[in-house]
Each structure stands twice: as structure tokens, then as C-alpha cells.
Homo-oligomer: A and B are copies of this chain.
Amino acid sequence: VVTGQDVLSRLRGADPRVLPRVVTLVENNDPRGLAALDELYRATGRAHVVGITGPPGVGKSTLTASLVERIRESGRRVAVLAVDPSSPLTGGAVLGDRIRMMARHADPNVFVRSMASRGRQGGLASATAAVVHVLDAAGFPLILVETAGTGQDGTDIASLADTVLVVQSPGLGDGVQAIKSGLLEVGDVVVVNKADQPGTNDALRLLRAGFALGHPRDDRVIPIMATDAISGAGVAELLAAIDDHSTWLDDTGNRSLRRERRARTEVLAGVRSALDAHFTTRRNESGAVQDAIARVVRRELSPHQAVDSIVATLTAP
């Protein structure tokens, strides 16, 4: 159902069951999904991908849901890919928020998908990127990728998204954490959500001071705004800031720079992961690798010398 020349037309056709099936096959690394992706990939590159990240508890899912409403009001279709936090401590709460967002499922112009990053080799870099390509080929002009802002995933989003939205909440501690974690360095737009709570102005001030000290990406002034996702206050302005950034990317040539970087990151991550699988499967070890290991066992080579000799054979021009 999802392979062959007609997969693109089926994906963009009237049957609402095709897209979720293709996404599932791609997400599971199924050979049929990979074949479909090879077909679909040439039809990608039109979507604007917004990464939404930030520490647990700042209301990312609620803000995403609120953004989806504004985007629909602007008449555009939108796809949401929610990458579950791998921490079992926060998973529950975030999923709770998410269920409300899922209620929008009834609108055929909103596609919502949740996927687990836990235990996935390569994390965001592989499965998420592949699913984004499917959503892009399916014709969504906007794709929101919500990811837990913890560990590697928070900063990995920068290699996947055209616009990175970093979400914070009032409270100086969060701001300090954000500065430490490197999240701010990847932000194109920064939001202090839960702006109904005390401390919002302090948080805005701290973040502006942090950006003034740091080196913002691309020599651009980073918008730092306040939202209250539950009441919707500030969310229209946030969508305008995201659209402004999209225009800026096109006007300055930065979109193609980022796209090239994205392609490079995705390909090299795939190469690493494929080589990893290659070398960890003993039966795939080449004679040169087995010989080098045997010489290490006999102490004719140090491990470091063995590594050098193997790498030299692998990376010869």
C-alpha cells in the first residue's frame, strides 16, 4: 500500500489512513517505510519546520496546542510531531497535556503524532528526521516538532528545525538552567510561558541579559516574548515571530545554509549508526579488523595502533 511510484499521490490523496501508516513504517525502520521515503524524499523541502524545546514543566505541549489553534485560524494545515521525554518522571504529565491536543484529531488539517525517543539509537537524528520528511512530502506547510529539552535531544533539535523555539517559564532557576544547558544557544525565538505567574518580568530580563552576553545565532536579534498558553495571551504574536523568522531565513539565504547543515547532520548520523551496526556484528568484521584485534591480543600492536591501522583502511581517499 505504501510503495511504488504512486506513494506520493496516495499520501496526498483523500484516504486519511495512508499518512499514519507510512509514518509508522518509517518510524519503525521498516524496509517498506525506507522504500517509501526514498520515493517521497524528492518531494520534500517545502515545509517550515519549527522545533519546540525547553525544560520539563514549562508547558510546551499546551503552548504547542495553542499554536496549532492560531495556525488553523490563519488557514494553514499543520502537523505536530511530539517526541516523548525519555524520563519516566515527567512522561506522565506531558502525555496528559498531549491528550488534550489529540482532541484536535477530528480536524483533517491537523495531523498529530507522538513518538518515543527512549531506547532509540541515534535519537532525534534518525527517526524524527525521517518522519518529518514524510510530513513534508505530505504537503504540510508547517511542522511543529516538540521535544523534551533535556540532555542531547534539546540541542539536537537545532539540526532538524528551520526555527527553534525555546520555551521557559517564570522563575530565575529555569533561566539559569537554560543558560547552563546550552538550550538558549540554539534558540531563534525564546518564550517565557505561564506569563500569568509572578516572576515573568524577571525571567524576561534575565534571558535578555543572557543573550546580550552570549553570541546569538546568525547575528540576529532574538525575540524574547511572554505567552500564557492556557489563556492564549501572546500566542498570536509568537506565531508572527515564527513567520518573521521564516521570512528572514529566505531573505538572507540562511534557509539554504541550514538545510545543507541538516542534510549533512542526517547523513553523517546515519553513516555513524550504520558503521556502528557494521562493526558490532562480528560476522561483518573485515579480515583487516579481525587481524588487528588478534595482533592486539598477542600484544604485537597496542589498541591505539590497531585503531589507527583500521581507520586508515576505512578512510583512504
Contact = CB atoms under 8 A, between A and B. Distances in A.
A301 B267 CA distance: 11
Interface in A178-237: none
A294 B287 CA distance: 32
Contact of A260 (B37, B271, B292, B293): B293
Interface string A265-277: 0111011101110
A40 B299 CA distance: 10
Contact of A42 (B264, B272, B275, B299): B299
Interface in A19-50: 34, 37-38, 40-42, 44-45
A49 to B, nearest CB: 15
Nearest to A39: B302
A34 B129 CA distance: 38
Interface string A282-308: 001011010011001101111111111
A76 interface: no
B286 A267 contact: no
Contacts of A267: 289, 292-293, 296, 303, 306-307, 310
A279 B286 contact: no
Interface string A74-98: 0000000000000000000000000
Interface residues of A, number: 50
A304 B280 CA distance: 20
Interface in A93-140: 129-130, 133
A278 interface: yes
A14 interface: no
B274 A38 contact: no
Interface of A: 34, 37-38, 40-42, 44-45, 129-130, 133, 259-260, 263-264, 266-268, 270-272, 274-276, 278-280, 284, 286-287, 289, 292-293, 296-297, 299-308, 310-311, 314-315, 317
Given A37-B304, A38-B304, A264-B293, 15 more contacts: A34-B304, A44-B299, A45-B299, A130-B303, A260-B293, A263-B293, A266-B296, A267-B303, A267-B306, A268-B280, A268-B289, A270-B304, A270-B307, A271-B307, A271-B310
